Amino acid sequence: MYCDLREVFWWNDMKRDVANFVAKCPNCQQIKVEHQKPGGVTLEINIPTWEWEVINMDFITGLPRTRRQHDSIWKGLGTQVHLSTTFNPQTDGQAEHTIHILEDFFRACMIDFKGSWDDHLPLIEFSYNNIYHSIVQIALYEALYEHRCRSPVGWFEVGEATLIGPYSIHEAMEKVQLIRDRLKIAQSHQKSYADVRRIDLEFEIDDWVFLESVTYEGVMRFGKKGKLSPRYVGPYRILKRVGNVAYELELPAELVAVHPVFHIFLLKKCVGDPTFIVAMKIVSLMKRC
């Protein structure tokens, strides 16, 4: 636009004025791809101080039904539940990585042994807990019970004294501290790699922001997603800040089923008049037969 205008017009700060005008265009803000780095630096998870202090839970969905027609198992546990933000699997990256590994184990067992996938759960659990984990530099079984697990691959000689002998609290504390130190080092390395691709971005309460509307792994977030649908919906007003990198939005009635807390990387600041609300509707080209 600037190149076209400067051929016939000129005024002081013309380029800046044109840039500001384009930046405030509501349609441009909804349809243009965001080229800057996503907001929100990586936050390190608090490392537990003792074994079983924190239990991480995630649901593996889409598995075939078992012989008893169960697709998931629910248990009532007296725990505090801390839910992650909407559409942000990175919040629980550790669990997501574990699930990725376990799904590969399931595939291998289904190929080699056939049958229902739940028949192989004990074998998969044993295999995962008995393999070497590079972060803690030890197998999980050995980290928890202080001795290696007997297996057909390596039948280690473990006497009764080793299995049930005295195990001091001091030794247990040293082991836990060593594992915590290794986890801290791994977190620091991973954070340094991730933050290279992110920027430290913040919003204020009562700011107006657009909300990203693209799909994640085939799941439609906000209605149907067509090829020419807007990339962002809104804008919506920020009600409050949740933690360091998440915000609660004032969503319309159409999104009543959506949890209103979103990670900052899904948000884009609204420039210009925030009262220009684009109704949520399907914008796509339908091929007619």
Give pLDDT, residue 63.
60
Domain segments of the chain as ranges: 2-36+202-269, 89-195
202-245: pLDDT as tens digits? 888 888 888 887 544 444 455 555 566 677 787 888 898 888 88
Average pLDDT score over the chain: 69
Contacts (Cβ under 8 Å, ≥6 apart) of 70: 118
| 3-state SS assignment for residue 261 | strand
Band the pLDDT of 75: cuts 50, 70, 90: very low
Interhelix angle for 121-130 vs 93-113, to 10°? Answer: 130
Which phi and psi (to 5°) does residue 256 adopt?
A: -65, -25
Cα separation, 186 vs 134, whole angstroms: 9
Contacts (Cβ under 8 Å, ≥6 apart) of 110: 117, 120
If you average pLDDT over each of 70-74, 143-147, 247-251, 278-282, which comes out highest? 247-251
pLDDT(163) > 50 = no
2-36+202-269 domain in CATH 2.30.30? yes
Give pLDDT, residue 111.
72
E strand intervals along 47-174: 132-133, 138-139
Give pLDDT, residue 106.
76
101-129: pLDDT as tens digits? 777 777 777 777 777 777 777 877 887 88
Give pLDDT, residue 190.
72
Task: Pick the closest to residue 46 from 172, 184, 175, 177 (CA basis).
Answer: 184
Cα separation, 107 vs 114, whole angstroms: 10
Give pLDDT, residue 1.
67
Average pLDDT over residues 127-140: 77
Token output for 257: 């089923």
